[in-house]
């Protein structure tokens, strides 16, 4: 599944219509959650029952009827996604919170399926044909949507961001593979001092995008509280604050995307740490730095480009990789402040490089006897396997500059 994103250009009334469609989507989703909560246990509410409930809402509320019927079904699918996740966490006995479905108050998108919209045959324009009054929108971007057949477009999503409105096309297509430039083998040890250190001795600098923008972000945040509530100046201050966070988010995406592409393009085997970032950020002293470096995002792009370049990626348990000697296998105890690995066998390496070599060795042992390509690694999540509902907050789009 490929997602192409365009910025849309319209007038003020069209933007207001998009906002109304987004609010309607949120209303349907929350009503579906309430319907599931209030239903008796023997009712057995499922995805089909929620879709039928969206039809009942269309008969009851005029503003819901104005929204396309398939867009209403997409809203109930979002509700079912939250409910199904809750059931799955209970069955697998996931520790801590089970993710009980909550009401949404900050929805920023409306999703259409195969109806409710039409593309201009030649120009980059899309017309939303429901009764919300959105009408024809101009698409701004470098992608050429007309190279794909209309039948391959499975979803169209209008998204509101801090710097404007965007249109995303979810296209069912095969992933185009590219040849690799080399067939190397690489182990990656991610960290906070460096973004990652590889088994060849290279250290990729940590860009620290949030830390660099933090002063400007805090200044923009203070300006919000200096404005009176309900006034236009406060709204503009909030928009400036949101745009600064959006810029940091985009910087992280482009940085992770560029590095993951370079790594997979030059290596037939990439081994990395199977980290549980969700547990690591519980350390309040390091939580901001861990979130800023975005290890999880880098892992997702590794999995995507591994499929594109037909590389094998393997996730291994990082336990003791920093303590064990990569040359002789002897355990050399060291604290976090010790940045150099020194072993009695004569091996002396930078701590992270030694860990990267151990990670690579573990990955080679894990792939012994395997044949073919395994683009999703061992026990990893896959960006390509996500449902469209789960992709609402993430755009899987390859930058044309790469």
Residue 153 sits in the same domain as residue 57: yes
The structure's pTM equals 0.82
Residue 358 sits in the same domain as residue 225: yes
Residue 106 sits in the same domain as residue 207: no
Residue 192 sits in the same domain as residue 300: yes
Give the range of the structural domain holding residue 109, as residue numbers without chain letter: 2-171
For residues 185 and 269, the answer to whether their CB atoms sit within 8 Å is yes
pLDDT at 390: 40
What contacts 225, CB < 8 A, 6 or more positions away?
A: none
CA distances from 27 to 69, 133, 143, 159, 210 (A): 14, 18, 33, 16, 34
| 16 within some domain | yes
Residue 35 sits in the same domain as residue 128: yes
Residue 64 sits in the same domain as residue 142: yes
pLDDT tens, the chain, 402 aa long: 788 999 999 999 999 999 999 999 999 999 999 999 999 887 888 999 999 999 999 999 999 999 999 999 999 999 999 999 999 988 887 777 788 999 999 999 999 999 999 999 888 999 999 999 999 999 998 888 888 889 999 999 999 999 999 999 999 988 888 899 998 999 999 999 999 999 999 999 999 999 999 999 999 999 999 999 989 999 999 999 999 999 999 999 999 999 999 999 999 999 999 988 888 888 888 999 999 999 999 999 999 999 999 999 999 998 888 888 888 888 888 888 888 888 888 888 889 999 999 999 999 888 765 544 444 433 333 343 343 334 433 443 443 333
| 113 within some domain | yes
Residue 167 sits in the same domain as residue 188: no
| 343 within some domain | yes
Q: What is the per-residue DSSP string for 216-260?
A: HHHHHHHHHHTSPTTSHHHHHHHHHHHHHHHHHHHHHHHHHHHHH
Give the DSSP H/E element, type plus range, for residue 287.
helix 287-293
CA distances from 200 to 180, 186, 320 (A): 18, 7, 20
Number of domains in the chain: 2
The residue out of 171, 197, 223 marking a domain boundary is 171
The pair of three-digit structure tokens given for residue 20, joined into one six-digit string: 């109304």
| 387 within some domain | no
| 390 within some domain | no
Alpha helix (H) residue ranges in 39-106: 47-60, 62-65, 69-91
């Amino acid at each position: 599944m490929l997602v192409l994103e365009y910025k849309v250009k319209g007038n003020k009334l069209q933007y207001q219509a998009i906002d109304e469609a987004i609010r309607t989507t949120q209303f349907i989703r929350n009503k579906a959650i309430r319907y599931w909560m209030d239903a008796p246990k023997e009712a057995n509410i499922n995805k089909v029952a929620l879709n039928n409930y969206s039809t009942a809402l269309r008969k009851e509320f005029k503003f819901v009827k104005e929204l396309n019927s398939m867009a209403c079904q997409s809203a109930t699918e979002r509700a079912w996604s939250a409910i199904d996740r809750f059931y799955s966490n209970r069955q697998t006995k996931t520790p801590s919170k089970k993710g009980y479905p909550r009401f949404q108050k900050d929805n920023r998108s409306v999703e259409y399926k195969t109806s409710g919209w039409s593309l201009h045959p030649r120009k980059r324009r899309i017309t939303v044909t429901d009764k919300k009054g959105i009408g024809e929108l101009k698409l701004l971007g470098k992608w050429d949507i007309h190279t794909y057949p209309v039948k391959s477009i499975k979803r169209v999503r209008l998204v509101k961001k801090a710097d404007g409105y965007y249109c995303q096309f979810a296209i069912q297509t095969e992933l185009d593979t590219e040849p690799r430039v080399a067939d190397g083998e690489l182990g990656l040890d991610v960290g906070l001092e460096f973004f990652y250190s590889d088994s060849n001795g290279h250290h990729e600098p940590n860009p620290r995008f949030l830390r660099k923008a933090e002063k400007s972000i805090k200044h923009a945040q203070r300006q919000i509280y200096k404005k009176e509530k309900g006034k236009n100046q406060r709204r503009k201050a909030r928009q400036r604050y949101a745009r600064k966070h959006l810029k940091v988010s985009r910087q992280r995406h482009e940085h992770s995307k560029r590095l993951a592409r370079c790594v997979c393009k030059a290596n037939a085997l990439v081994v990395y740490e199977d980290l549980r970032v969700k547990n690591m950020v519980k350390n309040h002293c390091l939580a901001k730095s861990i979130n800023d470096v975005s290890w999880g995002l880098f892992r997702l792009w590794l999995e995507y480009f591994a499929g594109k370049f037909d590389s094998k990626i393997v996730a291994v348990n990082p336990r003791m990789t920093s303590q064990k000697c990569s040359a002789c296998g002897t355990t050399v105890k060291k604290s976090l402040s010790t940045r150099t690995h020194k072993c009695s066998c004569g091996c002396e390496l930078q701590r992270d490089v030694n860990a990267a070599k151990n990670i690579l060795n573990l990955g080679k042992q894990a792939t012994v006897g395997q044949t073919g390509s395994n683009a999703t690694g061992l026990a990893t999540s896959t960006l390509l396997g996500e449902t469209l509902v789960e992709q609402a907050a993430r755009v899987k789009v390859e930058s044309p500059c790469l």
